[in-house]
Structure 1
Amino acid sequence: MLQKELRQAKAIENVYNSAYWHLAQKDYTLAEVRAKLERKTENQDWVETVLADLIEKGYIKSDFDFAMGFAESAFHNEQGKSAITRKLRARGVGQKEIAEAIEQVMYDEEIDQFALAESRLSNTFQNFHNTTKEKVYSQFTTKGFSRAEIDHALSMHPEKDTLRSKLEVKAEKADLSKEIMKLYRKGKGKRVILNELRKKLIDVEEFDNLIDQLEEVGDIDFYQTCIDVLAKKRLDIKNGAGKSKAYAYLSGKGFDSDQIKEALNPAD
């Protein structure tokens, strides 16, 4: 969307008026005021004159003073220093002034980032039933905290044991029978199915019992699936080398030796 074209200043008084109007709305950094005045006029001398005058009169804060005030407010709102740094840089404040201001505020206010992260986590979450570990880390990283600070805050939270990863949440909701059938239909053998379920953190305590039940009702037939998988691969199994290659392939798919031998020797 194009910015609306501003009426250009015809005199330096117009530049002053523009600066006063903007500063009456909220605090701006020197860089922000400069950018607004440069939209108002192409006369750089007017811009520099107005800025110098307003800085001298205290209407525009130095970058250090602005960063000090911003950091104080942000820390009181339980934001971490990396978020404060990022926001100040986006507003045109120099890195040197930002670092010095944050260091000064942390010293004056006795700010401890670990304690700050702990407090914010406690105030944000009574428990973690409606979120995930990934969301907590993402949110607190955005708020300016390091991995170590987040880890510390979580270790101190009384409901830390209720925090689950996305994978754990999904695993808790999983239907073991349906998950087995999904993998079976992809041509996986029993061993690979079990390994993949474990990787997904799905409870496999009833795995063997469910496999037996599914085989009894005819939903699963690993012998036939092994034959079908081999047929799709179209390997030459007429010689020993071909059979060895096929055996390794089918074993990698999770089929056991009896199933593989039957697939390799269907006439026996």
Structure 2
Amino acid sequence: MLEAKNLSVRFGRRDILHGLSFAAKPGEITAIVGPNGSGKTTLLRALTGDVPFTGAAHLEGIDVARAKPWELAARRAVLAQFTGVAFPFTVAEIVRLGQASGLRAGQGDLTERALARVGLTGFGPRHYHDLSGGEQQRVQLARAIAQIWAPVGEAGANWLILDEPVASLDIAHQLEVMGVARDFARDGGGVVAVMHDLNLTAMFAGSVALMAQGRVVTQGSVDRVFTDAHLSSAYACELRVNTTPARGPFLLPHTAIA
């Protein structure tokens, strides 16, 4: 399990998270959704030990607040919204940085296998800064995969922590990336993803945490969370579930259902 209880975060004099509770279990994608500024990314950063907090957070029994960086790196990999790269690394070098941070640093090169998982076969020799934003995002996902290659290790489930993993991708690659996350979860790993696309969330998530104003408003199955009342209140606008727009086409990919 990855869980938080009574978790609060303050930056300076401003309270960002307010004593919230959150839980995610291996074997499914847990999505965190909500309006901009609701605290989604801050929650992820607390759960991964990147910002100080009060309350409790545990990853597979590890106390996140007290864990050493290498202990967390061995059990979870993080894909941030944006990862700045200052040096002229090749794609392969970026992916190897991930592998070097995990438990498989000396167990053979996983670069091409990780790149193949995200649809970038043969990209290893290319320079990272020559890629499009969407390609760079998929390289970073390959880095995270190389860090925790096995969904389940000797100590239990490993975790992918994804912050807006499909934000810069076209529809086909959104489905591909979410498929990678789904497969990791189906093989016993844990996945927590901050999402803005509610349709993709409904297609892939097994559990959803809806946030607003630094709190988890509700958490549970998609059917339980995605109601007119819950979504309209959290996003402060009228939203209806399962109603197509009155005018214009409505496009929803179907391949992800398989």
> What TM-score bracket applies, with the shorter chain setting the length?
under 0.3
Greater Rg by CA: 1
* TM-score (norm. length: structure 1): 0.19
The structure whose residues are more often strand, as a share, is: 2
* TM-score (norm. length: structure 2): 0.20
Higher relative contact order (CA 8 A, sep 6+): 2
